[in-house]
Amino acid sequence: MSEPLTVGVDFGTLSGRAVVVRVRDGAELGTAVYEYPHGVVDRTLPATGAPLPPDWALQVPSDYLGVLRTAVPAAIRDAGVDPADVIGLGTDFTACTMVPTAVDGTPLCELPEFAAEPHAYVKLWRHHAAQPQADRINALARYRDEKWLPRYGGLISSEWEFAKALQILEEAPHVYAATVHWVELADWVVWQLTGHYVRNACTAGYKGILQDGQYPSTDFLRELNPEFADFVTGKLDRPLGRLGDRAGPLTAEAAAWTGLPAGIAVAVGNVDAHVTAPAAQAVGSGRMVAIMGTSTCHVLSSRELREVPGMCGVVDGGIVPGLWGYEAGQSGVGDIFAWFVEHGVPPRYHEDARRAGVSLHKHLTSLAANQGIGEHGLVALDWHSGNRSVLVDHELSGVVVGQTLATRAEDTYRALLEATAFGTRMIIESFQRAGVPVTELVVAGGLVRNAFLMQVYADVVNLPLSVIGSDQGPALGSAIHAAVAAGAYPDITAASRAMGSVRRGVYRPVRENVAAYNRLYAEYRELHDHFGRGGNDVLHRLAARRREAASVRKGQS
């Protein structure tokens, strides 16, 4: 006898993944992946080949529809199930990833008159070129003593909705004028599936500065730029959907794309990190979920409202309705490791890894694991993609201290692994000092497969480290939300209990390692404050010089 199924679709930075899940117990029956043909557009614009400035990161929206047309039907085939048994579809997306659209949701970059305009494309979450606009938003909010600013740790990020939109207004006013809707991709995808534009409570709160039912005022926006005064009312504000709610039925057109039955429930959109918490059975207080991939996002729920310096936000119902959801994050983690492997490793290491039949990451990890703590003599700062928490400063860049002529690739690699763990500890300590306890770290994402890295994290943060029971945490979380939207469970907590999966306490702190890492962490913290809190602004000056040199070169070409 057939059983009800849901489908979860996770739209990541480089690919989209679909998973077919049994509603009764969360069993994952089939999965498929679709790689975005255009990937991350950060060098040249596909339509023209024109070079992009530093700190830009765009995407092509048609890539996302390829996930629906390809990965969803393939996952159904992989599961060997009848599509008629699927009762709901849920999706999640990277955030803050934004697209300017026409009135019907057509991305402006798909219109011939805007195909050559970079500002008409999707601005990926890691587009950091709006830092000057973010700086002005923060300075004005502090000057006006805006009550919403402490809810975001005292700083609004250049990654978020307002800064990115203000950048378009000031650098491409014709694109801004043509923008009817400024849309999170989490909501744009649901719009394509249902024909209804519903704004989700998660991104509206964390990335759209929606607090206590209000956005920043018209007066505030006018003071930033007179042409920005009607941004909220004219381009942003839409009806809000709670997480787990039904956004609408799957349209006939979207049913043809996906091979799923028309009319099934489509859940309100969500963010990849936040949707993972129910998949890891971590919707209760004190359980911080770290979704570790190219970047890391840290989320946890609490009944208490506190203002945590340097956090990405606290939102009522931001993870599950009825609780305050907290978010923090690190802009670069797996990306840093990948960068080093691509650019910093001598050829002989590649050859050694090839002979051993392992990846270069695994080879370097094995070499690094044979060292004693501190043996490499290095401390690194994990800011190669800026700092999201607790400094909220994307002008910062990576630092490695202590290199000598004897320093080897595995030394630097291990220092970078440790640096990301130190960054997570900084975040946890910020929450704890603010009165938000963190009693357990639950890890999800691709990096959980690195057992050495996981033990480093347990030792550095001195907490038991649990591991999600699924390799597809965000997609499973979206499938859980789909089950709630379809009426199979009364709420997200009940669905999480039945469909989520976690292995508790897989890695536990080793007392000797904790003591050794405490000494290294003290050095990290001193460097963190020196370079990140005004001791020396050299990283900001270098970033400014890089932009200036790139601008001169562009003018000469």
pLDDT value of position 551: 77
159, 148 Cβ separation under 8 angstroms: no
Which residues lie across from 8 on neighbouring strands?
A: 19, 90
Report how far apart, in Å, the C-alpha atoms of 427 and of each of 167, 296, 378, 415 are: 29, 11, 21, 19
CA distances from residue 201 to 104, 143, 207, 308, 324 in whole angstroms, order as listed: 22, 28, 10, 20, 12
**Predicted local confidence at residue 557, as pLDDT:** 62
Q: Please, are residues 445 and 292 in contact by the beta-carbon 8 Å criterion? A: yes
Quote the Cα angle for 57-36-397, to 5°: 30
Quickly count helices (H) and strands (E) in the chain: 20, 21
pLDDT attached to residue 496: 98
Nearest to 391 by CA among 206, 221, 215, 138: 138
Any alpha helices (H) in 70-130, and if so which ranges?
72-79
Helix (H), strand (E), coil (C) string for 151-174: HHCCCCCCCCHHHHHHHHHHHCHH
Beta-bridge partners for 107: 101
Q: Which amino acid is at 459?
A: D
Angle at 322 between CA 138 and CA 269, to 5 degrees: 70
- The structure's pTM equals 0.91
Which residue in this structure is represented by tokens 């499938």? 479
Paired residues of 315 in beta bridges: 325
Q: What is the pLDDT along the chain (557 residues), one digit of tens a residue?
A: 489 999 999 999 999 999 999 999 999 999 999 999 999 999 999 999 999 999 999 999 999 999 999 999 999 999 999 999 999 999 999 999 999 999 999 999 999 999 999 999 999 999 999 999 999 999 999 999 999 999 999 999 999 999 999 999 999 999 999 999 999 999 999 999 999 999 999 999 999 999 999 999 999 999 999 999 999 999 999 999 999 999 999 999 999 999 999 999 999 999 999 999 999 999 988 899 999 998 999 999 998 899 999 899 999 999 999 999 999 999 999 999 999 999 999 999 999 999 999 999 999 999 999 999 999 999 999 999 999 999 989 899 999 999 999 999 999 999 999 999 999 999 999 999 999 999 999 999 999 999 999 999 999 999 999 999 999 999 999 999 999 999 999 999 999 999 999 999 999 999 999 999 999 999 999 999 999 999 999 999 999 999 889 878 767 76
Residue 344, number of CB atoms within 10 A of its CB: 13
Relative to beta strand 296-302, strand 287-292 is antiparallel
